[in-house]
Amino acid sequence: MAKKKDRFKIAVLGAGSWGITLAYLLHCKGNEVRMWEFDSRQSKILDKKRIFPPLKNFIIPGEIEISSSLKTTIEGADFLVIAIPSKAFKKTVEKIKKIKESVPRLIISAVKGFDYASLKRPTEILREELGKGFHISVLSGPSHAEEVIKRMPTAIVAASSNPKTARQVQELFFTDYFRVYTSDDIKGVELGGALKNVIAVASGITAGLGLGDNTRAALITRGNSEIKQLGIKMGARHKTFNGLSGIGDLIVTCFSMHSRNYRFGKFIGEGMSFSEAEKKVGTTAEGIYTVRSCVKLSSKYDVPMPVCKKVYDVLYRGKNPAEATGELMTRPLKSEYPEGG
């Protein structure tokens, strides 16, 4: 691990809204920050103009280096922060593996999703590809980049199986507007951060259909129940889903137009096609990929997830959104807690 000091060299992989926001936060704490953008053309544009349109008028400080060279970005860093779309995660880690000798010992994943082919979480892929000798943490919770970058009070979770690593990440990111809690339930924190995006798409669909608060409250509550049931079956802790990376992240993602997943769902509910909605959102809405993994995990662990299944049917099987909502409402009646828990 990095030695105790006031100023660190930090590599941030991913120059989207969240990567830029985390890079800026770390820069403001006096660290030396380098940021990697895989697209060389986009990297040059960001480096020259210092503007990322989804963050509107925010100017990326000139002191933050921006490069499309992975080796240049990582070399000499004390910490590695990964904030890229989940669909690109495995390929990126495979590239990191090729320069393994340059990779810092402490790696922080700010990725919310799964590898679709293997259904593995980001930290599982990191451990599988990089092997022993690395300290791995997850940063997750209710944190819209658009608000964090304006220094609006935010609380988030740093999770690691190693309490010392979690505390180190906590100290690295903590500011007077960005409060960081620790957790040792890395699985639960990752699952909550990924699966809530599917429910956010569903929430957006109900808004696009013009349905009311009652509908959305029921949908989010039952969606949260699905997440908990699957998470517990996969070995996560119940209490994690009642915390910031669980219900906290679910709330913020299901109610805000800052949420790409909510916006995507709203456009679908309003009648747009998948491609039209995706184009209008402009940046990656993780839920549209995660829902495919969610359906596979539901089958693998034998956990019924009707809300997630209906989102999948709407997005990938052409199901009419209003019809899907009606089918959820008319399923066989049951107890809210059939097993008493």
Query: 40-68 b/e with 16+ CB inside 10 Å = b?
Result: eeebeebbeeeebeebeebebeeebebbb
- The answer to whether the CB of 12 falls within 8 A of the CB of 81 is yes
* 161 vs 184: CA distance, rounded Å: 5
| Backbone dihedral angles phi then psi of residue 92, each to the nearest 5 degrees | -65, -40
List the one residue out of 137, 213, 217, 198 whose CA is nearest residue 169.
137
50 Cβ neighbours under 8 A, 6+ residues apart: 59, 60, 61, 62
Cα 191 to Cα 86, 233, 235, 293: the distances in Å are 13, 11, 10, 11
Catalytic residue among 196, 228, 309, 310: 196
> How many whole angstroms from its chain centre is CA 201?
14
- Measure the CA–CA gap between 263 and 205, rounded to whole angstroms: 9
DSSP state, 109? Answer: E
* Whether 196 is catalytic: yes
Q: Which residues are catalytic?
A: 196
